[in-house]
Amino acid sequence: MLNAELEVNQVALQELIHPDDRSRLDATLMAYLRGETEHFSIELRTNPSEGEPRWVLCRGQAIEHDTDGAVVRMAGTYMDITERVAIEDQLRASEQRYQTLSTISPVGIYRANRHGFFTYVNPRWCAIVGVPADAGLGMGWLRYIHPEDYMLVRNFWDKTISTQQESQIEFRYLRPDGRICWVIAQVVAETDPSGSLLGYVGTQVDITRRMVVEERLRQQSALLEEANTNLAKAARLKDQFLANMSHELRTPLTGIIGFSEALSQGLYGALGDAQQRAVQHVFDNGQHLLQLINDILDLARIGAGHVDLKLGPVLVDDACGEVIDLLNGLFQSKKQQFTYTACEAGLSIEADILRVRQILINLLSNASKFTPRGGALGLEIHYDAQRKEVQFCIWDHGIGIAANQQNMLFQPFVQLDDRLARDQPGTGLGLALVRQLVTLHGGRIEVESRVGEGSRFRVFLPQHSPLPILETLSSHTGTPPSHSPPTPNTAIHILLAEDEASVADLLLEYLGYQGYSTNYVGRGNEVIESVHHLRPHLLLIDIQMPGMSGLDVIAHLRADPDPEIAQIPIIALTALAMAGDRERCLAAGADDYLSKPVRLEQLGATIRRVLNTTQD
């Protein structure tokens, strides 16, 4: 009966259970009845016929046995666990989603316990490090840290564990295949709701490509910095070369031009006609060589960006008239017919007057050079009101230029035809310099020419220059020696400081011829003592002096506590003729500045002007 009763009760219980769970119920119950389990416990769903299925926890225990020990009666509980099962289902679903995301994530993910031992790594972490998952668990992952970064990472983890703060680090793995992999890793502490530490979860991203790019950029930056350093050094060497070349070339020219001028003026006695012509040839060739040096240095300075323009209003008609007056003798000597076509009166442009003259002189001289004796040439001025630019058109009926050679016109040291080079002496620098000067003004130059018919060079200059107003180099143009009689100045005493003996001889002869009394020193460190001892009315000093530079001497004298010494008139001489020389000399305290080779007439005029100014 009891067994039957048990069977009936079991059947009754099954009626309460979801059909899909009844087989589990039977299996669990029979295992308990056979003594295979100590307790009877099972989670089941209720029968849908009783309403919405509910999850229940069934627990039971035998309370009566027959003589053979078989269970004849059980007592138990029947508890609703629907809410708990729902929560567990949600947790399982969440865990599954996390597992899926972790598996497919492009970011390496790892978890560690509170001691820093890895308990999980995702597939991406394994791909980054190049090892299977079990090789990274525990502290195994540390074996793959790059030796140079090992202590960095250990210290990072020790600090993270001690502070439990979110941290970030960049380091390298040395993979088993020998490759180096850069990663950026982040770690955050994982806590329970009460704030107790559970462990750590972190990510790591492969940044190898970024680090390679950054390293290349660093290398390129280093190369660029080295290149810039070399360029700056080359620029300094170029500046030094230009300064040295200017000094070394101009210094002997001072003697050539100066002594020929002195001979022409009769400093060494009267000359016959043949002698005068010979001296004039020496002077003219010296001036030609000086112009060549100036052109070479100008091109070099422009190429180095060391030529600025002294901009101001330039009356176009006046500038053209001055150039025509200067070259009129050249045109007449070749019996050439020159025509000037002016524009509207009062037309002006913003330009460097000296450079505009230089442009026109070069172009008109070229036109005359390549126009046969008795030929025609001219200068036309046109104004474009719409474009606000002035056109200078220099034309000639000369030999012309072949079309296939016109693109070489403005290259330095290029002459288009060997025969012309023999017939017409020149260096091929003029047009190259013209184009550079026109470009500096923000203008352009065009050429139109036919062989046997002549050429037209058109220079277009903007009426209003886009350039800031800056100081420029002085322009040096030669004029024939003057024969003006000397003015006695026996009461004026001049101290000459010059280290070049030939230049000193020339200047002392000229100053004596002009009636000045003179003294001479050849070293810079002797000048200050001589000034105190001699008390000259004027100091004529070269800037490139041994012992003490001329600039230092000038600055020292200007700071002298004796007013008579501090206010002595000073004229600076230099063979450098570089940009900023005049400004540096005047800033040091010089009253005026002359560039070698010094024209004797110009020197005399400057001395008189400085003495008159200081005496006033």
Residue 400 backbone zone (phi > 0: left; psi -120 to 50: alpha; other: beta): left
Q: How far apart are the first and last CA of the chain?
A: 151
Give the count of beta carbons closer than 10 Å to the beta carbon of residue 202: 21
Domain ranges of the chain: 10-87, 105-211, 221-301, 309-462, 493-613
Distance CA 541, CA 504 (A): 11
CA distance 359 to 444: 12
* Residue 597 near residue 257, CB atoms below 8 Å: yes
Q: How far apart are CA 495 and CA 535, in angstroms?
A: 9
Q: Are 550 and 542 in contact (CB under 8 A)?
A: yes
Per DSSP, the three-state class of 462 is: strand
* pLDDT score of 28 more than 70: yes
Among 232-236, 260-264, 304-308, 592-596, the range of highest mean pLDDT: 592-596
Model confidence over 43-83: pLDDT tens digits?
A: 888 887 767 888 989 888 888 888 888 887 888 888 888 88
Query: pLDDT at residue 206 above 80?
Result: yes
The CATH number for 221-301, chosen from 1.10.8, 3.40.50, 1.10.3470, 1.10.287, is 1.10.287
Instruction: State pTM to two decimals.
Output: 0.45
Q: What's the CA gap between 17 and 10, in Å, rounded?
A: 11
For residue 380, what pLDDT is reported?
95
In CATH terms, the superfamily for domain 105-211 is PAS domain (3.30.450.20)
For residue 584, what are the contacts with CB-CB under 8 A and spacing of at least 6? Answer: 551
The DSSP bridge pattern shows strands 517-521 and 493-497 to be parallel
Architecture of domain 309-462: 2-Layer Sandwich (3.30)
- Could you report the per-residue pLDDT of 381-416, keeping only the tens digit for each? 999 989 999 999 999 998 888 887 777 777 765 555
Which SS3 state, helix, strand or coil, does residue 176 take? coil
| Nearest CA-CA partner of 381 in 466, 461, 465 | 461
pLDDT in tens, 582-605: 788 888 899 998 888 788 888 999
Tell me which residue has tokens 């350093």: 229
Strand-pair category, 118-121 with 197-206: unpaired
Query: Per CATH, is 10-87 categorized as 3.40.120.10?
Result: no
Q: How far apart are CA 159 and CA 165, in angstroms?
A: 9
Instruction: Look at 102-111, 364-373, 456-465, 601-610 and tell me which has the smallest mean pLDDT.
Output: 102-111
Rounded to the nearest integer, the mean pLDDT of the chain is 82
User: Do 10-87 and 221-301 fold alike per CATH?
Assistant: no
pLDDT at 477: 38
Q: How big is the CA angle at 595 (ends 590 and 599), to the nearest 5 degrees?
A: 115
Whether the pLDDT of residue 548 is over 50: the answer is yes
Tokens 């029947």 map to which residue? 78
* The CATH fold of domain 493-613: Rossmann fold (3.40.50)
Do 133 and 126 meet the contact criterion of CB atoms below 8 Å apart? yes
Q: Residue 540, Cα to own-chain centre: how many angstroms? A: 42
Q: CB 572: neighbour CB atoms within 10 A? A: 27
E strand segments, 81-219: 108-113, 118-121, 167-174, 180-191, 197-206
